[in-house]
Amino acid sequence: MMKDLIFLGNSLDELRNFPPSVKNELGYSLHLIQNGGRAVDENKAHFTK
């Protein structure tokens, strides 16, 4: 069963502003997480603003 995603504040808008390659990787990781899996390269994910 796929879990719902809840974006806080403007996090969805911020995600939409990332370059396409980043959005693809994050989208895939979020899909995996929604279905009970683990994010791709989760130890490499260091997001800074």
Angstrom distance (rounded) from CA 1 to CA 22: 26
Q: What pLDDT does 2 receive?
A: 87
pLDDT, one tens digit per residue, over 6-44 is 999 999 999 999 999 999 989 998 998 899 888 776 556
Q: Which of 42, 36, 38 is nearest to 3 (CA)?
A: 36
- Name the pLDDT band for 49 (thresholds 50, 70, 90): very low
Q: What is the pLDDT of residue 44?
A: 61
Unique residue bearing structure tokens 């683990």: 38
pTM passes above 0.75: no
What is the identity of the amino acid at 22?
V
Name the one residue in this structure whose structure tokens are 């403007």: 10
